[in-house]
Homo-oligomer: A and B are copies of this chain.
Amino acid sequence: MKTIYSIENLHTILSGRTHSAFNRALLSNFRKNNILLTREQWTVLGVLWKNDGCTQQTLANQTSTDKPGITRLIDNLEKENLVERHPDTNDKRLKLIYLTPKGKSIEEEVLNVVNQTLKEAVKDIESERLQIVKETFQQIYDNLETKK
């Protein structure tokens, strides 16, 4: 069983250490700007800012969160008055999630902080290398998910 790369280094990549660091940095930058959101909550809002009024299932698909996760994220976003659940009148199974005025109003501020944090993260890294990272991560994701 020949090993052409270091398994340990690989595991370090996939273990989520850098992902956690990004999460911490983003949360810290949110707090500095008095934004009381988590990364996951922001991700949900990010979908809604482009596609207001979509279903929870759509949110689940577009954020790679499972259905129970979306239920709880929406619960918390509702408590903060950022979104509202509107039952669909045609299909009573569906709940359409709409941004409140408050939810709409924070878009620019939040995106600024997100972009700023991403810039910090990739400081001094060539875009060609980022492109390779992006493609490789997509391929790893496909390798792991499509075989099921």
Contacts and interface: CB of A to CB of B under 8 A. Distances in A.
Given A9-B134, A132-B132, A134-B10, A19 B22 contact: no
Dominant secondary structure of chain A at its interface with chain B: helix
Given A5-B130, A7-B115, A14-B118, A123 B141 contact: no
Contact of A43 (B15, B129, B140): B15
How many copies of this chain does one complex carry? 2
Interface of A: 1, 3-5, 7, 9-25, 39, 43, 64, 114-115, 118, 120-125, 127, 129-137, 139-141, 143-145, 147
30 contacts: A3-B115, A5-B122, A5-B127, A7-B115, A7-B118, A10-B130, A11-B43, A12-B134, A14-B19, A14-B118, A14-B121, A16-B20, A17-B141, A18-B140, A18-B141, A20-B64, A21-B144, A22-B140, A22-B144, A120-B144, A120-B147, A121-B140, A121-B143, A125-B143, A129-B135, A129-B136, A130-B136, A132-B136, A133-B133, A133-B137
